[in-house]
Structure 1
């Protein structure tokens, strides 16, 4: 399976996706097609935790006061399902591998795998 979860209004997601050949990827814009509980469970199983999928850079993280709370795995799961901006993006799934976020290290590892 090859799939990418992204946000179409995110210029960083667009830039990364434009650098790759995604013709054989299923693409899901998380703003128009929300991630399901099952999809999130699959990502968690691959990544090891909900926290690894959670974006602390989302504007709502501070505005909701989440930065002042002690969040646990249950909280991370709840917030990701409630608000799409809390999913760290993009998320690429290639077979049994998952690539989360837009750090250079993650993008380079994905490029190596796809080449």
Structure 2
């Protein structure tokens, strides 16, 4: 499993703590140090819709004034590529696909034996 995010993000910290608690192997990619490009974003979008991946609640969204621009999906896609901090975190690539955001119940269902 690969966790994409930024090390200072609370949701990313929770996802990493979850993996450690349940002894799950993972790699962490800090998107500030290794930004993701359009190919990776398109891959994620084959599993989740753009509104799931595009973070409208974050600081970067507000500071860029994007709410006032009434972005369509194409605009959101361009912004995700240009500014990775608009990606909702964490993004986790795993055997079952891609998960976005921290959700302990979903993680238990996806990653832990029943």
**Distance in 2, Cα, partners of 1:11 & 1:52:** 18
Q: Contact 1:20 / 1:111 at 8 angstroms: preserved in 2?
A: no
Q: What is the aligned-residue RMSD (CA, Å)?
A: 1.7
Aligned match of 2:86:
86
Q: How does 1:32-111 map to 2 (within 5 A)?
A: 32-47=33-48, 49-102=49-102, 106-111=103-108
Name the SS for the 2:47 alignment partner: helix
Size of the alignment, in residue pairs?
110
| Cα displacement (A) at 1:16 | 2.4
**Distance in 2, Cα, partners of 1:46 & 1:38:** 13
- Normalised by the length of structure 1, the TM-score is 0.83
Q: Contact 2:91 / 2:99 at 8 angstroms: preserved in 1?
A: yes
CA deviations 1:28-57 (Å, max 9, x no partner) are 11110001211101000111x222200012
- Normalised by the length of structure 2, the TM-score is 0.84
Q: Contact 2:19 / 2:25 at 8 angstroms: preserved in 1?
A: no
- Where does structure 1 lack aligned partners over 5 or more consecutive residues? none
| Cα displacement (A) at 1:23 | 5.1
